[in-house]
Amino acid sequence: MAASIPAKPPYLGFGLGLRPQHYQEILEGEPVIDWFEIISENYMIPGGRPLAMLEKFRARYPVVMHGVSLSLASTTPLDMDYLKQLKELAGRIQPRWISDHLCWTGVHGFNLHDLLPIPYTQEALDHVTARVYKVQEFLGHPLTIENVSSYVRFARSDMTEWEFLSELTRRTGCWLLFDINNVFVGAFNHGYRAMDFIHGVPAGQVVQFHLAGHSDMGTYIIDTHDHPVRAEVWDLFRAAVEHFGPISTMIERDDNIPPLHELVAELDEARAIAREALAQGKEELCLAG
């Protein structure tokens, strides 16, 4: 049975991942950043400087929570201690949404510290659906689920990744974090058409875009988050905005972190591309009408 779909959260504009290297500069200056995404696990602690800093940001900006440890697709039972801490943090900072990935990160007590892909089978869909239900019921909030980058595929899948995500959304009412770079990486590594992914997910459920830089190894691409966004990913972003309309967008940078002004300039580029894409969409609508 399909879940009732909760109201989609409001559009936030253009944000960045909150990184300690930039705390001071952001709080002292007034960079044009509309909102921040935090890595939930970095703040799931009872007190101390990270939480104190986060509360300062929360007083000034909308914040969303992004986790990397839920291990939604694992067959190990959900970690209720982790979920309790996640819920406590959410209660404290009231994020606009809480996201994690369609992946598994470990099994039988081993954490592999990687976002691992799953087979897109009916069995996996039933399994993940049941876990998303449990998580949403516990949090009292829809979960936002992100597509991951992958480098291998399972020999057997009953459906595409976007069909899996669409059905998961229909069954659970979860929202989607659409990582544009991950779609680009997956399309290159696995040989599908990125536009098929874009057209294959329910637009009404997408609440956030991720943009990031990757490393092109020639015959495959790795999602390293240590470069500026590449030109071909900007092109895909433009196509995504034309298709989905305005979606809260942020740039992920996790390694080789540059000075803040470089990320702000990249964010300005995202704004300019989105503005053009939306104007283009309106023009086409007028011509069609």
Residues forming the site for Fe ion (CB under 5 A): 179, 210
Nearer to Fe ion, 22 or 210 (CB): 210
CB of 171 or CB of 210, closer to Fe ion: 210
Residues facing 15 on adjacent strands: 35, 250
Nearest approach in angstroms of CB 251 to Fe ion is 10
Q: Which is nearer to Fe ion, 146 or 167 (CB)?
A: 146
Residue 131 or 210 having the CB closest to Fe ion: 210
Q: For residue 49, count other CB atoms closer than 10 A to its CB.
A: 10
Long-range Cβ contact pairs of 111-116 (< 8 A, separation 24 or more): 111/69, 115/68, 115/148, 115/149, 116/148, 116/150
State whether residue 214 is helix, strand or coil.
coil
Determine contact, residues 157/119, Cβ cutoff 8 Å.
Answer: yes
Output phi, psi for 212, to 5 deg. Answer: -160, 165
Which residue, 126, 70, 75, is CA-closest to 102? Answer: 70
Query: Nearest approach, Cβ of 142 to Fe ion (angstroms)?
Result: 18
- As measured in angstroms, the least distance from the Cβ of 257 to Fe ion is 16
Closer CB to Fe ion, residue 27 or residue 73? 73
Q: How far is the CB of 189 from Fe ion (least distance, A)?
A: 15
Helix, strand, coil in percent for the chain, rounding step 5: 45, 20, 35
> Closer to Fe ion at the Cβ: 37 or 167?
37
User: Shortest Cβ distance from residue 107 to Fe ion (Å)?
Assistant: 22
Q: Of 200, 147, 196, 194, give the one whose Cα is nearest residue 174.
A: 147
Pick the closer one to Fe ion by CB: 49 or 237.
Answer: 237
Longest dimension (CA), the chain: 58
* Shortest spacing between CB 198 and Fe ion, in angstroms: 16
Residue nearest to Fe ion according to CB distances in the complex? 210
CB of 15 to Fe ion, least distance (A): 13
Q: Say if residues 104 and 137 touch (Cβ distance below 8 Å).
A: no
Please state, in angstroms and as integers, the Cα–Cα distance from residue 253 to each residue in 151, 173, 264, 286, following that order: 20, 29, 12, 38
